[in-house]
Amino acid sequence: MTVLAGIFLGLGFFFIFTGALGILRFPDFYTRLHATGKSDMLGVGLMVLGTAILEGPTLNGLKIVLVIFVVALASPTATHALGRAAHRAGLVPWPARKGEP
């Protein structure tokens, strides 16, 4: 079980790391938001699942699994709210900006 938990933790770290690279690499707010919005849910979910496996079938393990459901509801909602607020504020995507190639 420790090996399986380690695999989930490693995969979770990989997805969170790629989301962080997306923040640094992509050119505008919307693409950065997309990179982090997709990778943080999967990364956090896998890492929390790995810790739940380490905890075992106890009440604390069940509580840790419930965190996955909270993150699964909150993360896409927050990402959507941020994107919508940026759109309403008039932030245009990168290729549509004037004066840039």
State pLDDT tens for residues 21-49: 989 998 889 989 988 888 988 999 999 99
pTM for the complete prediction?
0.80
**Encoding tokens for residue 17?**
């790391």
> Band of the pLDDT at 93, cuts 50, 70, 90?
confident
Residue 96: predicted pLDDT: 62
Averaged pLDDT for residues 75-98: 86
Identify the three-state secondary structure at position 80. Answer: helix
Residue 1: predicted pLDDT: 87
